[in-house]
């Protein structure tokens, strides 16, 4: 047992019932995986809100965005060519759909424990590449502006979308900046050797796998110089897929990146990578064992059980305060010592 996270005693801190559905006829099914930032002397979460209609006996139904409007698709569970073995996504006649539609919503707090949800001005996906929603948004503050990297999903596939804002009221949207299948894009909050950098997670098949890659950019909108940073490890806790969390943390030992790893049973734990400060494509050290794993009931049971997934944090001295999605259902909080994490890594 190598879990070094101190969970908040009143976890979960936010549950689906705390959020007003965005449209009549939809339920908030999951509240999860928030981006985290500080603004206007408050701590803010940019939460992923996953919705669907109440499910009828023998049916599966879910919303999609269609020209800015919600449309409900419904299938008989007994329909031929329907595969709904995964709680999160189904296929019908060879085409994939998500079982929920996600958008982003803000919540703020002055103490980091008690959050007020802002039900106004939810951020929805726009256009044909976001018709199945936008998910798991990271928030990076770069040169005074906030940059939001998120998973844009549609019937065309999924890739990394980018928005920016200075006031959290007006947003610039830059479309898909990294082509898919790709998600888990975390921006570095300063330039390295003159270039903006990000970690991202292509989903390779045939050769390769679900590994963490690095890319670089002159302007945050156009990306190249892709390099593989870290791969999954056979037989270990991160054997099946890995992906970055929030922006890398600059330490005097290198860039510390909290990442999630899943094994073949889809059990999602957290670990860390220490990356070279001048060349973050080089891994200096890595977690042999998870630094946090699903232990509590709310982490083991939910919409998709045995999942701890973080893509947002606050740093206070040595304390890393992470906000995380537990079991793809609720939002929780935990604290870890950055020094303890660094000391736990294997070179």
User: Any contact of residue 156 with a second copy (CB under 8 A)?
Assistant: yes
What letter does residue 18 receive in the DSSP assignment? Answer: G
- Smallest distance from the beta carbon of 281 to a second copy, in angstroms? 10
Report the alpha-carbon distance of residue 249 to residue 274 in Å, rounded.
Answer: 9
Site residues for a second copy, 125-154, by CB under 8 A, read 128-129, 132, 153-154
Binding status of residue 207 toward a second copy by CB under 8 A? yes
Q: How far apart are CA 347 and CA 345, in angstroms?
A: 7
CB-neighbour burial class of residue 271 (10 A; exposed 0-12, middle 13-18, buried 19+) = buried
Bridge-partner residues for 158, per DSSP?
153
Min dist CB 213 to a second copy, Å, is 6
Give me the least distance between CB of 176 and a second copy, in Å please.
Answer: 4
Write the interaction track for a second copy spanning residues 177-196; mark x where CB under 8 A is met and - where it is not: xxxxxx--------------
Asked if residues 77 and 59 have their Cβ atoms less than 8 Å apart, the reply is yes
Q: Is 34 in the site for a second copy (CB under 8 A)?
A: no
CA-to-CA distance for 236 and 189, rounded, in angstroms? 30
Q: Determine the interface stretch with a second copy among 10-18, 29-37, 93-101, 272-280 (rule: CB under 8 A).
A: 93-101
Closer to a second copy by Cβ: residue 25 or 208: 208
**Interaction between residue 231 and a second copy (CB under 8 A):** yes
Determine contact, residues 231/211, Cβ cutoff 8 Å. Answer: yes
> Residues 70 to 89: which contact a second copy by CB under 8 A?
89
In this structure, are residues 139 and 93 in contact, taking their beta carbons and an 8 Å threshold? Answer: no
Reported as half-sphere exposure (CB side, CA atoms, 13 A), residue 3 has a value of 13
Q: Which residues pair with 64 in a beta bridge?
A: 71
Question: Does 8 engage in binding with a second copy (CB under 8 A)?
Answer: no
52 binds a second copy (CB under 8 A): no
Binders in 99-128 for a second copy, by CB under 8 A: 128
Q: Which of 63, 202, 261, 294 binds a second copy (CB under 8 A)?
A: 202
172 makes contact with a second copy (CB under 8 A)? no
Identify whether the C-beta of residue 346 lies closer than 8 Å to the C-beta of residue 21. no
The distance of closest approach from Cβ of residue 63 to a second copy in the complex, given in angstroms and rounded to an integer, is 15
CB under 8 Å to 53, separation ≥6 — which residues?
Answer: 25, 26, 27, 61, 62, 63, 72
User: Token pair 């302007």 is at which residue?
Assistant: 219
Residues lying near a second copy in the complex (CB under 8 A): 89, 91, 93-98, 128-129, 132, 153-159, 174-182, 200, 202-209, 211, 213, 215-219, 221-228, 231, 234
């Amino acid at each position: 047992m190598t879990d070094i996270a101190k969970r908040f005693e009143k976890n979960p801190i936010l549950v689906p019932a705390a959020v007003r559905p965005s449209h009549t006829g939809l339920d908030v099914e999951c509240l999860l995986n928030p981006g985290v930032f500080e603004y206007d002397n408050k701590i803010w979460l940019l939460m992923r809100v996953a919705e669907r209609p109440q499910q009828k006996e023998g049916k599966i139904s879910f919303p999609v965005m269609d020209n800015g409007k919600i449309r409900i698709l419904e299938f008989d569970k007994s329909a031929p060519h329907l595969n709904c073995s995964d709680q999160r996504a189904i296929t019908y006649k060879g085409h994939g759909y998500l079982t929920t539609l996600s958008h982003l919503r803000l919540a703020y707090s002055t103490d980091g424990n008690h959050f007020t949800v802002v039900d106004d001005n939810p951020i929805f996906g726009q256009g044909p590449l976001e018709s199945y929603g936008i998910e798991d948004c990271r928030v990076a503050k770069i040169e005074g502006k906030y940059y939001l990297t998120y998973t844009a999903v549609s019937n065309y596939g999924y890739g990394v979308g980018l928005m920016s804002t200075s006031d959290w009221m007006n947003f610039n949207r830059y479309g898909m900046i990294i082509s898919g299948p790709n998600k888990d894009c975390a921006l570095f909050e300063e330039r390295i050797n003159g270039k903006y950098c990000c970690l991202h997670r292509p989903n390779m098949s045939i050769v390769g796998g679900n590994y963490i890659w690095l890319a670089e950019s002159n302007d945050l909108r156009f990306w190249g110089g892709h390099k593989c940073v870290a791969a999954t490890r056979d037989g270990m806790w991160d054997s099946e897929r890995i992906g970055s969390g929030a922006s890398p943390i600059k330490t005097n030992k290198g860039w510390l990146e909290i990442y999630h790893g899943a094994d073949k049973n889809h059990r999602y734990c957290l670990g860390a990578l220490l990356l070279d400060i001048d060349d973050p494509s080089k891994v200096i050290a890595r977690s042999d064992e998870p630094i946090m794993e699903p232990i509590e009931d709310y982490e083991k049971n939910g919409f998709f059980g045995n999942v701890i997934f973080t893509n947002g944090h606050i740093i206070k001295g040595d304390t890393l305060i992470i906000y995380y999605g537990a079991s793809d259902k609720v939002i929780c909080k935990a604290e870890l010592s950055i020094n303890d994490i660094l000391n736990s890594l294997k070179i």
